[in-house]
Amino acid sequence: MDNEDLKLTWNSQKTGLPFNTPAQIIAKAKGQRRSQIGGIVIMLITVLLLIVFTILYAGTQWNNFSLGLTLMISSLVFRIALEFIYLFKINKQMVSLDSKTFRSYVKSHYRARLRINYIITPLCLSIYVFGFMLLIPYFKAVFSSSFYTYILVSGAISLVVVSGLIARTIRKETQFLKRLNDR
Amino acid sequence: MDEAGFTEIYNTHADKVYRLCLGYASGDENLAKDWLQDTFVKVWHHRKSFKGNSAISTWIYRIAVNVCLAALKKSRKHASIDDRIVGMVDKPIQTEDREYKLSKMYRCIDQLTIQNKNLILLELEDIPQATIAETLGLAHGAVRTRLSRIRKALLKCMTHGQ
């Protein structure tokens, strides 16, 4: 076997498959942009509502319910915003850096993400759970006993599922980082 | 770049980008199609950031290589190459031989380091060495030397089935 055989073998791959048309790609790109903008708008509105809510009620009717709700929403919004920022940054670098520099960037990106996953995410989750716990007495007072039990059980299940997802992400990103460092 | 310009660029480069992605995806056609699509979605999104400092093809290959590198995180889902070799039964001998060689080639390429994989995949697509150097951020001389070594390693692997 020689270099020519390598090329011949490589060129024997299928080509001219039915790819998406350029119009479909453009439509997908536009759809992606719309949903990104939609997500950002929803987050901004949520933050704005939180600020307005805090200003209106902080002085007079602020209680554990308001505090719990604020902690839950703000920890969630903060974590989602962080995810958006990291996604935006890596996408920007993907189109501007040469492959060697981008690889170094990807390594530092995933090292930073590991720190986020080990520190920031559990912190956000703890704040979220603490906020939820502040709401529990209000739920107990307002809802029927069966619905109250349902909220507690579903809350606990959600916590287990989210923790599992975080652990899975950490494992996946650690493996990827190791692969990048090995090769 | 307007829609007509994008269409022209897509029609010119889609095939090469797809085959490049096939190399990263070890022959998994669905993954390669996804990465091809991601590449051109990014080309469309960032078309205004392309200032023409390099050839448009260099810019596109650079995005494609980076998209494939970033997507390697999720690439372990595809069927292993060994599975596909085992799956080659009841096919005409010529097709079987071609697919066997190709699968072996994917496996040998998969054993290379990421940087060497980048180099050989671009070279196999007949992309000029100067463009490869610019795409990967390497010196032209280094590309030539390294490609010669990689070709030898690949041939050895293909012949002796390392």
Torsions phi, psi of A59, nearest 5? -75, -35
Tell me which residue has tokens 């930073």: A112
| Residue from B102, B151, B99 nearest B122 by CA | B151
Interface contact A101-B137, CB threshold 8 A: yes
Residue in B11, B41, B116 to test binding to A, most A beta-carbons within 10 Å: B41
ipTM: 0.75
Residues A75-98, mean pLDDT to the nearest whole number = 89
> Which among B41, B66, B98 has CB closest to A28?
B41
Torsions phi, psi of B91, nearest 5? -115, 155
**Cα separation of B73 and B65, whole Å?**
14
The predicted structure's pLDDT at residue A154: 92
Residues B105-159 pLDDT 10s: 888 888 888 888 889 999 988 888 988 998 898 888 888 889 889 988 888 888 8
B59 CA: distance to closest CA in chain A (Å): 8
Residue in A7, A8, A10, A88 to test binding to B, most B beta-carbons within 10 Å: A10
Residues of B in contact with A32 (CB under 8 A): 41, 45
**CA A144 remoteness from chain centre:** 34
Residues B35-71 pLDDT 10s: 999 999 999 999 888 887 788 988 999 999 999 988 8
| DSSP-derived secondary structure letter, B77 | G
> Which among A25, A97, A179 has CB closest to B44?
A25
Maximum mean pLDDT: which of A17-21, A36-40, B7-11, B52-56 = B7-11
Residues A97-138 pLDDT 10s: 888 899 889 989 988 988 898 899 999 999 999 999 999 999
Asked if A97 and B66 touch (Cβ cutoff 8 Å), the reply is: yes
The predicted structure's pLDDT at residue B79: 45
Interchain contact A73–B (C-beta under 8 A): no
Say yes or no to pLDDT of B162 above 70. no
Residue type, A24: Q
**Cα separation of B142 and B48, whole Å?**
32
Say yes or no to pLDDT of B78 above 50. no
Question: Which residue does chain B place closest to A14, by CA atoms?
Answer: B19
Residue type, A7: K
pTM more than 0.80: no
Asked if B69 and A106 touch (Cβ cutoff 8 Å), the reply is: yes
Confidence of residue A17 (pLDDT cuts 50, 70, 90): low
Interface contact B69-A102, CB threshold 8 A: yes
DSSP 3-state of A181: helix
Please give the share of chain A, as a percent, with pLDDT higher than 90.
Answer: 25
Residues of B in contact with A106 (CB under 8 A): 69-70
